[in-house]
Homo-oligomer: A and B are copies of this chain.
Amino acid sequence: MKLPFVQPKMMGDMIRRQIRAVLYRDLVSTTAELAQSTGISFPTISKTLDEMNNQGEVVLTGLGASSGGRRPKQYRLNADHMTGLAVALEKDYSSYALLNYVGEVIGREKLPGVLHDGPERLTEQIGTFVQRYPHLRALTLGVPGAVNNGRVFHIPDYEKFKNFDFKALYEERFSLRVQVENDMNATVLGYHDRSGDDQNRSLVYLYLGQNGPGAGIMVNGDVVRGSSFFSGEVSFLPLYDSQNFSQAVQEPPSAQDGTERRAKLIDAMSRLVAVFTATLNPHTVLFCSTDLTERDLADVRKGSASYVPADNLPSLLVRDWEEDYFHGLNQLTIRTMLGLGID
């Protein structure tokens, strides 16, 4: 019984968002094309585009090709209108990506990790970017921990960040739009965006990280956070009589045959796939290239078919985790800049 409703007051705002979204997607567009793909009438598009041009949000790049009539003005987003910063906080490094208003990465830096040191170091690092880039307006932080509305409240091994409210602090201090996201959630979002696939898909992105395995889950196009932000903590899955997923995957203390160990890993993964198939029945399950090879994947595919009917299995893919993760953070940042966030 949810009724999303747009009051006339918000129309102007909505129209701008639509324009931004299309301009971001198509890079360059004309009034007629925008009217076409947004469904908004061309006089309105024209008027709004004028305003956006005056405010420096879009720029006129010239005239388009003609097919027998007056040549149309072409607009695109002004790359310099705003810049955003996407930060991945990992144990060993902080990865910073600077993004312009059209979504291009205009700078990338890896600085020392701050998770052990504490928030002060992070604030310093961010501060330098704020100084260097006066158009900085959006900041996205990816963290390996549970996040609720900009505050980290469960981050094992990095006690100094526990209960640290990134959003409150940095919005105040730097006057930026700040959002914080769990790393696997950002990753699954990143894949979803890169895949270009239809909206509303269900995905599971699995990572056997250093801090124990975890999964990012997306259902019907939305990230699943869980009632206590515990979603995707697959290490606890009771998949064997006396072992959970984590224990099955972990290297056993006793010397063990390599092939046997591999078989165990494959089976655990197969069961994991079966678990998701028999619950969410997702379209795709993603693995990290650091965790599994293509050959492993084939075996997992076979293995999981012994647990659930093969017709219902998701497609399994091996991915570069870092790429998807960074892309997810970038994506979140750009959406914020363009005003297309969740709000």
Contact = CB atoms under 8 A, between A and B. Distances in A.
A215 B201 CA distance: 20
A176 B240 CA distance: 50
Contacts of A21: 1, 3
Identical copies in the complex: 2
Contacts of A17: 3
B238 A241 contact: no
Contacts of A283: 227
B277 A230 contact: yes
A301 to B, nearest CB: 15
A122 to B, nearest CB: 27
Interface stretch (A60-68, A70-78, A217-225): A217-225
B3 A217 contact: no
Contacts of A6: 5-6
Interface residues on A, range: 35 or more
Interface stretch (A110-118, A251-259, A305-313): A305-313
Given A202-B226, A274-B238, A307-B244, A231 B281 contact: yes
Contact of A221 (B2, B4, B217, B238): B2
Given A236-B309, A238-B271, A275-B279, 5 more contacts: A1-B335, A3-B14, A220-B222, A232-B278, A235-B278
Interface of A: 1-8, 11, 14, 17-18, 21, 25, 38-40, 199, 201-202, 215, 217, 219-222, 224-241, 244, 271, 274-283, 307-309, 311-312, 314, 335, 340
